[in-house]
Structure 1
């Protein structure tokens, strides 16, 4: 049965209203990067079952899905209906129709947050330092503290020489210590602009005036002709204990001045006991990964504070939902709430006393990394026919076997079963029947851990293929046996545009220039 259709004008009216809704772009991330409906959420088909439960936890919320105007949106709508979502519509005519009606479109990733960062930069007249100035200060021996506010993973690849990793959400823990050293010039950097700007604005809001943003971050440094420090050996330092202790008082003053709402443990329990039936509630834990794994509230999302601001649209699909920030006590949560209110999210609050208050009230914590089961996985896995690595190794000698890898194109490039062909799961129904019309074709489906393979196998079975198997344990199980692997991005059945990497990681200087020019223009 075909999904209901909704017109472009009706979606525009919905997005301008105070209603709960989510607009989901189900194309590949690279397609989304090129052009998208303004304020839509990127959720590629290959990730639907894995992420929709967190993005839209209430299955009664109206959902609108769209693609370029083809068949993928209809397939996505069917998947959403199958896993329990009751109000799903497809945009009539897709993105092509939206553009014909001259409705708002943008390009790039995390556009709302990046545009917000540029606005903060202009409105607050934040001071900057150019790479050339910073380099000369380093040569002169000027007293500097270079704070790299990217994630530990990003920092671990490279940094500005002498930089230390202080993720953006943790800056409030360092504020008092930095205030004690007025002779030290604080430099805040990220890969580009947004997190440098927000980090500088945070410290200035906390009363620190001797701080500047590094203009254009590590990309600006490279474009100025300077070398980055590769794989820095220094571990991320812990905030000085006295400074971290005083952060809670700073947060209390910020919350009072900005009218940030507190929510008690008892109030949170009432919300959790009601479930998602009466609306949408996001619990966002802004601490570091190690802290989260050492104990968190069941159902909370782990989104470190700096990333919560930088990538808000990746985590909040229902803009008018209730957002509750959580940290150990309250400091980091207050700063995240402060920025979300500045970005226009109206229903934002902070768990008073944080995890400490939760635990002291006798409430349970969950330990380890969060890994929820994809929606529909139990049904799909019950229908999958498994093959182990040893049996697949024997079958590799057969010329008639087709091995599909449905992990990301980056994962495929890093390691895959020899002879495998890569395809995004979002394209299977549209690409495979034409290329491989024989429904008796023997097909083995792989991915890193086997979970995406299960859904791909189900799609192939629905297409009428009768000899479909899933590599049990995925490529990880294959690697564990010591069997050889293929590497590289060749042998693709669809364009590998499922992953968009920052130019700072995998781009030429021209890519970096284009990206920075794009980011600066967002303020207009």
Structure 2
């Protein structure tokens, strides 16, 4: 049974140096609207998928919060079933926190966004308006546009002609990307909004590049100016670092380490820390590309692309006041990321000296593969439910079919007649859809995993005839069975996603950009 923590006591923890995690288990849209500063968003439906990495030591204090305490209590029970033994629930949730006068904030990944705005103000990071960039493109000016988002984001939409260079790769690759360009070519850095554009441009500024600009407000600013985005961009290739490119990156890394206080660990020390990782919380993060990580990484290091590590520090360092160790194949990229974390204000930040190359040279084995783990409790859950094929589900015609994936996936395609039930609030909503616990109910999701866990929950609630679609909607489609699209049967606006890019309406884009810009106003006042 989880403990209860008051708002006053939680506030004391947040202002101290104790090791603990504050985890908000609501949906992304709810969190974006209002949350406690320095909390990490891990929606309840993702606990089994993320917590073993987010909180690797089972005995660390976990404080769980939501709006009123109900979902947090359910989440605490899940965590205790996973072996976490020091779990507390915020009394009456954020509602009580606010009632007692403690502050909240809105938005997501606020730490990095606030930092980006500070960088722009303090270092006068150069930027260019979308209208001016469009004019330069139309004139045929010498330009190279570098998109520092993830390759997946880039492929969804990008500035026409832009190429993908994820933020964590920028300093390592920029010399070789530009080596054949005329010296008077202008470099434009962009993201979807502001933060990664500012940070990427600041990287180049600090490296000594001069003819550079960040695209003000990124692809959002481009859309607001009335211009079209390109979809399906295929300029994804990254050049292998040449001797000159690597030398420039290492010179920059050495300077960052000295100026920002990045400390290095040899592989023997890293081995000792890894040996203690079940007793002492420490985060081990490999910041290379996914292909490099899969080819061979130090066992115990998780993959998190470098640019996103900077953008999403609250998703990386879930347990507060703990060390973090970054790794690449040498030391350049790990140093780049470590320097940002030092600038954020994190104290125990390290890079592996020599990275995975030094690890292998010491005679230690590298591990291959993506590192994806089986969600906690999945195998046990499979034993509690009846797994059915698409053909069997199609023939069975159960009384109720539910989908427990995010609302956008439900809208993209679901079994005809299915109802959407967020897995995070399944226990609170299912009675309104399937009141008869003796009637057959089928659970679906994208690939079968979330549905299996949800099906086990229904069995524990007393539902007698629970089946789960094996392989999820992906298998259903592959079997040639039709799907229904749209938010059919959804009676209220979903709160589980935060629209981004072209999915936002213009008013939402403007509000978001105003919020980001306002974060920097306090630094301008100084």
1:494, CA displacement in angstroms? 6.9
Q: Secondary structure at the match of 1:469?
A: strand
2:307 aligns to what?
306
Q: CA deviation at 1:179?
A: 8.2
Structure 1 residue 188 and structure 2 residue 189: aligned?
A: yes
Q: Is the 8 A contact 1:447 1:453 kept in 2?
A: yes
The 1:505/1:294 distance shift into structure 2, 3 A limit, reads farther
Q: Against the structure 1 CA distance between its residues 505 and 53, is the aligned structure 2 distance closer, same or farther, given a 3 Å change threshold?
A: farther
**Residue of structure 2 equivalent to 1:221:** 222
Task: Output one character per residue of 1:48-95: Cα deviation in whole Å (capped at 9) or x when no partner.
Answer: 111111111111110111111141111111111111111111111210
1:75, 1:162 → 2: CA distance? 48
- In the alignment, the residues of structure 2 paired with residue 244 and residue 79 of structure 1 have an alpha-carbon distance, to the nearest angstrom, of 49
- C-alpha deviation, 1:381, in angstroms: 2.3
Go from structure 1 to structure 2 and tell me whether the alpha carbon gap of 1:417 and 1:179 turns closer, same or farther (over 3 Å shift).
closer
**Correspondence for 2:371:** 370
**CA distance 1:435–1:132, change in 2 (3 Å):** closer
Alpha carbons 1:70, 1:94 under 8 Å: kept:
yes
Cα distance in 2 for partners of 1:161, 1:388 equals 43
* CA displacement, residues 220-268 of structure 1 (integer Å, 9 cap, x when unaligned): 1121222223323433342552343212233123213322110111111
Counterparts of residues 464-479 of structure 1 (less than 5 Å) = 464-479=462-477
Listed as ranges, the matches of 1:56-135 within 5 Å are: 56-135=55-134
Task: Judge conservation of contact 1:423–1:493 (CA < 8 Å) in 2.
Answer: no
Among 496, 519, 522, the alignment partner of 2:519 is 522
Cα contact 2:384–2:459 (8 A) shared by 1: no
- Following superposition, the deviation at residue 304 of structure 1 comes to 1.1
Aligned residue pairs, count: 518
SS of residue paired to 2:383: helix
Distance in 1, Cα, partners of 2:445 & 2:456 = 14
Q: Return closer, same or farther for 1:505/1:367 CA change in 2, 3 Å cut-off.
A: farther
Q: Paired residue for 2:408?
A: 410
Structure 2 CA distance for partners of 1:433 and 1:225, relative to 1, 3 Å: closer
Matched, 1:426 2:427: no
Q: Secondary structure at the match of 2:4?
A: strand
In the alignment, structure 1 segments of 5+ residues that lack a partner are: none
Q: CA deviation at 1:212?
A: 1.4
Contact 1:248 1:329 in 2 (8 A): no
Preserved contact between residue 424 and residue 494 of structure 1 (Cα < 8 Å)? no
Q: How far apart, CA to CA, are the structure 1 residues paired with 2:246 and 2:188?
A: 23
Q: Distance in 1 between matches of 2:345 and 2:468?
A: 45
Between the aligned partners of 1:160 and 1:417, the Cα distance in structure 2 is 36
1:435–1:74: structure 2 CA closer, same or farther, 3 Å change rule?
A: same
1:5 aligns with 4
Inter-CA distance 484–64: structure 2 relative to 1 (3 Å threshold): same
Name the CA distance, whole Å, in 2 between partners of 1:501 and 1:298.
36
Provide the C-alpha distance between the structure 2 equivalents of 1:231 and 1:439, rounded to a whole number of angstroms: 46
Corresponding position of 1:19: 18
**Deviation at residue 182 of structure 1 after TM alignment:** 4.5
Instruction: Using structure 1 for the length normalisation, give the TM-score.
Output: 0.95
What SS does the corresponding residue of 1:441 show, helix, strand or coil? coil
Report the aligned-residue RMSD: 1.8
Between the aligned partners of 2:420 and 2:479, the Cα distance in structure 1 is 22
Q: Find the aligned partners of 2:4 and 2:434 in 1 and give their Cα distance.
A: 32
Is residue 175–residue 243 contact of structure 1 (8 Å, CA) maintained in 2?
Answer: no
Flag the 1:81–1:386 CA change in 2: closer, same or farther, 3 A: same
User: Which string of whole-angstrom CA distances, capped at 9 and with x for unpartnered residues, describes residues 408-430 of structure 1?
Assistant: 22222222222211111111111
Q: Which residue of 1 aligns with 2:243?
A: 242
| Structure 1 match to 2:456 | 458
What is the SS of the residue equivalent to 2:350?
Answer: strand
TM-score (norm 2): 0.94
The answer as to whether partners of 1:29 and 1:497 remain within 8 angstroms in 2 is yes
1:502-521 residue pairs with structure 2 within 5 A?
Answer: 502=500, 504-521=501-518
Quick check: 2:205–2:212 contact (8 Å CA) kept in 1?
yes
Match of 2:142 in 1: 143
- Structure 2 CA distance for partners of 1:9 and 1:70, relative to 1, 3 Å: closer
How far has the Cα of 1:472 moved from its partner?
Answer: 2.0
Distance 2:499 2:224 in 1: 18
Contact 2:260-2:343 within 8 A present in 1 as well: no
Following the alignment from structure 1 to structure 2, what is the Cα–Cα distance between the partners of residues 345 and 229?
A: 38
Question: Which piece of structure 1 moves more, 405-414 or 134-143?
Answer: 134-143
Q: Paired residue for 2:330? A: 329
Q: What's 1:387 paired with?
A: 388
Cα distance in 1 for partners of 2:90, 2:483 equals: 42
1:445 to 443, 446, 451: 443
Inter-partner Cα distance in structure 1 for 2:446 and 2:224: 36
